[in-house]
């Protein structure tokens, strides 16, 4: 592997309950990254926005310091500062955005505000650099579920989205109803893999519709019914 070369990019993420940072080099290689998850929310069975924001404020300095240490760089070697600017929990987002803006201003470096969901689209290209548009992308998270036609980077057509709950939100709410540990997604997966696949028949919404491919809403999703199935 060749020696790292600039420009060096520092990326920050504080959109929910994880404080994360990463440094990439000019070849899009990750030189160092740290993800710090918050366990304060477990007793509540979900993320408390105020607690999440306070935890980011307490930990962001140490997370960045450790990331730079793993990358073998000092802060003054960073050429660009990027940060998740939304969507997400507003208080949590503000911690990352304010920190990133302050550092970019102090170092006189470019500041890049990153759209959270667009970042998800770009993430697979880190391991698969040959994955170039056009392609169809399915984005699934705690707050979003959408199907996109990626025509080019920065040019997207929304094919479908959830009409109610996001898939991740449905996982979390079902886990809470079943009194499962937080976060609920991994625990539901573990139980599902150990269970009998055909024992329970869960509803599959939006199957009997008088629509054709291309009609508005044809590719939409619905997950709210799973919470009470």
What is the CATH number that goes with domain 135-227? 3.30.420.40
Query: Alpha-carbon distance 140 to 29, whole Å?
Result: 25
Give 163-216 pLDDT, tens digit per residue: 998 888 888 888 888 888 878 888 888 998 998 888 888 777 777 667 777 778
Structure tokens at 213: 């491919």
Per-residue pLDDT tens over the stretch 106-155 = 999 999 999 999 999 988 888 888 888 999 999 998 888 999 999 999 99
Bigger pLDDT: 31 or 3?
Answer: 31
Q: What share of the chain is helix, strand, coil (3-state, %, to 5)?
A: 35, 25, 40
In which order are the strands placed within the sheet that holds 30-37? 30-37, 18-24, 9-13, 80-86, 111-115
pTM score, whole prediction: 0.84
Fold match flag (9-126 vs 135-227)? yes
pLDDT-based confidence at residue 54 (cuts at 50, 70, 90): very high
Was domain 9-126 assigned CATH 3.30.420.40? yes
Compute the distance between CA of residue 69 and CA of residue 83 in angstroms, rounded to an integer.
19
Is the predicted pLDDT of residue 41 greater than 80, yes or no? Answer: no
The residue extents of the domains of the chain are 9-126, 135-227
Question: Which of 143-150's residues contact partners 24+ apart within 8 Å by CB, and which partners?
Answer: 143/87, 143/88, 143/168, 143/169, 144/87, 144/117, 145/221, 145/223, 146/117, 147/219, 148/121, 150/121
Report phi then psi at 10, rounded to 5. Answer: -100, 120
């Amino acid at each position: 592997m060749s020696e790292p070369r600039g420009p060096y990019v520092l990326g920050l993420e504080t959109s929910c309950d994880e404080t994360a940072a990463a440094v990439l080099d000019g070849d899009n290689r990750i030189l160092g990254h740290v993800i710090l998850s918050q366990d304060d929310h477990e007793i509540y069975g979900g993320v408390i926005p105020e607690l999440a924001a306070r935890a980011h404020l307490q930990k962001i300095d140490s997370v960045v310091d450790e990331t730079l240490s793993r990358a073998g760089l000092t802060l003054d070697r960073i050429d660009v500062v990027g940060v998740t600017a939304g969507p997400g929990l507003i208080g949590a987002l503000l911690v990352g955005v304010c920190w990133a803006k302050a550092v970019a201003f102090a170092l006189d470096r470019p500041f890049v505000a990153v759209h959270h969901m667009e970042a998800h689209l770009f993430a697979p290209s880190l391991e698969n650099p040959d994955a170039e548009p056009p392609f169809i992308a399915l984005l699934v998270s705690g707050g979003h579920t959408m199907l996109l036609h990626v025509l080019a980077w920065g040019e997207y057509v929304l094919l479908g989205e959830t009409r109610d709950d996001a898939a991740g939100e449905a996982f979390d709410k079902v886990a809470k109803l079943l009194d499962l540990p937080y976060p609920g997604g991994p625990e539901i997966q573990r139980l599902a893999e150990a269970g009998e696949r055909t024992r329970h028949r869960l509803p599959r919404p939006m199957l009997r519709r008088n629509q054709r491919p291309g009609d508005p809403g044809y590719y939409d999703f619905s997950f709210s019914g799973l919470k009470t199935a």
